[in-house]
Amino acid sequence: MFLYMWVCVAILYIWWKVRDGLRINNITEKYILITGCDTGFGNHAAKAFDKQGFRVLATCLTDAGATGLREATSERLKTIRLDVTNADNVLSVAKWVKGEVGNKGLWGLINNAGIMGTLAPFDWMTIDDIRKPIEVNLIGLIHVTLVLLPFIKKAKGRIVNVSSVGGRVAASGGAYFSSKFGVEGFNDSLRRDMKAFGVKVSCIEPGLFKTPLSDPAKVIQQRTDIWKRLPVEIKKEYGDNYIQIDASKKQKLNQRILNSDLSLVVQCMEHALTSRHPRTRYSAGFDAAFLWIPLSYMPTFIQDFVILRNKVKIPTSGNTTHALRTDVDNTQFHLNNNTGP
């Protein structure tokens, strides 16, 4: 009985691997648009897909980012400035895309543009702190998708939304996680809506990667700026050493789980664009596979226990121990010497 069951499992696995490995043809005739190509995942993806022969339309937030990308790629790749929060800019990019793709349509859209925003307790924040990550990561992503959908439907193409493990488990305060949970919901609804049109929609959930988005020095600076404007009452509730102690704990965790190989995410994008049977979800990174994704399936009380173990106990004492001061000093050293790709 057990042998029969194992044989069935083996046959299903082989069938899945063969099916998963089937690829599309004629990628040199296919147009793909990638947002957020100045640095990080988008930049690496644009270069990789250009080498494969795709006709890459890369959007960048800055002229410097666009120039650097053009210098590192072939003449096939074209760039355009895009701020996903600027509605007029989004519409003008859609018109540009229509002129580029013509009757072929747009085979792939990779919604990669995003920001971290401020990661801090919610009672530190104003509505403006909350609004910006949601406007970029969620509203901007949706707007770009909506204006390009007619071209994607024409090609019966692919949409790849770059979410995060933060869309499965909210490990901290800040609107970043709220925006990524929103991306997950939009992705699922869109996937079901587009199935009838032959458009396949996938979601990528990267773990923590070493990119400018997750630069710890920037994260700490943002928290420090908010701390300076907080009322005295809230500062007393958290304690004078809260930011330093929290930075120390986060640094220790990051050293264990930080991924540096951005190609892991690009490989997910590549499979979603070129497989005949793309997956609905991809996870990338050691921490995603062995910590965050499994944790997302756990009961809430287990999630809370794991996450709160890494939280700072408040209020923090005004007199830190020698060991704590050493941790904070080490953290500051790492932050001052951290450079993103």
Per the annotation, the verdict on 297 as an active-site residue is: no
Is domain 23-210+258-301 annotated with CATH 3.30.565.10? no
Q: Are 120 and 173 in contact (CB under 8 A)?
A: yes
Which residues have CB under 8 Å from 163's CB, separation 6+? 180, 183, 184, 187, 203, 204, 205
Write down the pTM of the prediction.
0.87
Has residue 16 got a pLDDT over 90?
A: no
Distance CA 20, CA 42 (A): 24
Q: Are 46 and 20 in contact (CB under 8 A)?
A: no
- Measured between its terminal Cα atoms, the distance across the chain in Å is 53
What would the pLDDT profile of 268-326 be if each residue is shown by its tens digit? 999 999 999 999 999 999 999 999 999 999 999 999 999 998 888 887 755 444 334 43
Q: Which residue has the higher pLDDT, 181 or 220?
A: 181
Query: Which regions of the chain carry the CATH code 3.40.50.720?
Result: 23-210+258-301
Out of 13, 31, 176, 238, pick the active-site residue.
176
